[in-house]
Amino acid sequence: MVADADFWLTQFLNGMQLSMLLFLLSIGLTIIFGLMHFVNLAHGALYMVGAYVGVSAAASLGNFWLALIAAPLAVTIVGIFLYVAVIRRMRRAGPMNQVLVTFGLIFVLVDLVRILWGDIALGMEQPAILSGPAEIFGVSYPAYRLFIIAVGLVVMVALSLVLSRTQIGAMVRAGVENDAMASCLGINVERLFFAVFCVGCALAGLAGAVAAPVFSATPSMATDILIPTLIVVVIGGLGSLGGAIVGSLIIGFIQTFGAVVLPGFASVLVYVLLAIVLIAKPAGLLPARS
Partner 1 sequence: MLEVRDLHAGYGETQVIHGVDLTVDEGRFHAILGRNGVGKTTTLKTIVGLLPSFSGEVMFDGASVSRSRPFDIARMGIAYVPETRDVFGSLSVLENLRLAARLAAGTDCKWTVERVFNFFPNLASRRDNGGNQLSGGEQQMLAIGRALVMNPKLLILDEPTEGLAPIVVRQIFDKLKELKGEGMTMLLVEQNFHFATRLADTASVFGRGKCVWSGTCEALRADEDLHRQWLGV
Pairing of strands 133-136, 139-142: antiparallel
Binding characters for partner 1, 138-177, by CB under 8 A (x = yes): -----------------------------x--xx-xx-xx
Whose CA is closest to 251, among 9, 16, 19, 8?
19
CA dihedral 270, 275, 281, 282 (to 10 degrees): 110
Nearer to partner 1, 164 or 220 (CB): 164
Nearest residue (CB) to partner 1, 279 versus 290:
290
Q: Is 178 in the site for partner 1 (CB under 8 A)?
A: yes
The verdict on 279 binding partner 1 (CB under 8 A) reads no
**For residue 129, what are the CA distances in angstroms to 16, 21, 134, 135, 139?**
21, 21, 11, 14, 19
β partners of residue 134: 141
Contacts of 9 (CB under 8 A, 6+ apart): 136, 137, 139
Q: Does 97 bind partner 1 (CB under 8 A)?
A: no
Question: What is the closest distance, in whole angstroms, from the C-beta atom of residue 145 to partner 1 in the complex?
Answer: 35
Q: Nearest to residue 48, comparing CAs of 21, 88, 30, 86?
A: 21
How many residues lie near partner 1 (CB under 8 A)? 20
Nearer residue to partner 1 within complex by CB, 208 or 239? 239
179-208 binders of partner 1 (CB under 8 A): 180-189
43 sits near partner 1 (criterion: CB under 8 A): no
Q: Residues interacting with partner 1, by CB under 8 A? A: 167, 170-171, 173-174, 176-178, 180-189, 288, 290
